[in-house]
Amino acid sequence: MTQPHGTLICFNNKDIDSVTAANIAAIWTNTVPQTMYRLIPYKEVVDVDFDGYDVIFIGKVCERASLVQLVGKASSIVYIGNNTKSINLCKDINQLCPGKPLITIHSNTFECLSSLVWKLFYPDIKLMPYVVEYLVQHIVGVGSLPNKLAVITALRSTTRRVSLFKEILAYNLEEIDRMAELGNTILAEHARLAENIALEATVQNFLGYEVIVAAAPEILVPAVTHRLRKNKPFTVVYTDADGHRTFRLCGELPDKGLLALGSKLGEARGNDRHVSVRVPMPTII
């Protein structure tokens, strides 16, 4: 790819894989002489003027219509995705921006974004940083690296400064040990908080069902849900943020009805046992 004069790196700042991938791209960009870069969280993408910039999109950062409009102004485009929607967006950009300098990288096997970005910008360095290896095993769900959950937990808590990611991405096992120690401390505190929240959960009528309901910060939802999941027929854990309430339903209803039940609130995502619905507040059930 050509060396850019100015690069905009667009990513999902709520996904640690996307954050790590964006920082890998930023570190690479920073090695190009007389080049500036800017990290742009996906919520800010539609407000940015891309005219004359080289743009790197990591994952699905905005809807199709907005993306096609934005990339029409860019000098060149790199689009990196790892799911079906991302692959379809790549096809749209190819068709609607003919002649535009374009690189699209995607994987049908849900390979993590960090490893895709690493292979693109550092093709001659076959050994990926330890943190990227941890992300690969975490996302794919296989592998036996030690303290995997603790390392990923520490990575999620890391300040999003590129200077810190330079240290994290180094080939340094002592850094991994430090992250594991930090992660285990965070996990222990999460367990304590989740236990307290679970103890305060109440029985409520939710769309016609008497179920256990609890409110929890997003980061504690899995731990709280785990503690409540034995309650029948399902449990509800919700989070309020950014003017919306997100409901997570966990359990089982006859005839795979949990997803259909969640759809009564709004656009439901998930399967017959785990459903997520995000709706504007105030929401009264």
Q: What is the pLDDT of residues 195-251, one digit of tens each?
A: 999 999 999 999 989 999 999 999 899 999 999 987 778 999 999 988 899 999 999
The residue to which tokens 């996906």 are assigned: 42
Which pLDDT does position 68 carry in this prediction?
A: 66
Which pLDDT does position 3 carry in this prediction?
A: 46
The residue to which tokens 């919700």 are assigned: 238
The secondary structure of residue 239, as a DSSP letter, is E
| Diameter over CA atoms, the chain | 63
- Give the Cα separation of 29 and 162 in Å (integer): 11
Residue pair 206/285 in contact by the 8 Å Cβ criterion: yes
CB atoms within 10 A of CB 97: 15
Residue 183, SS3? helix
Closest CA to 194 of 226, 169, 239, 168: 226
Residue 42, SS3? helix
Mean pLDDT of the chain: 83
**The pLDDT of residue 138 is above 90:** no
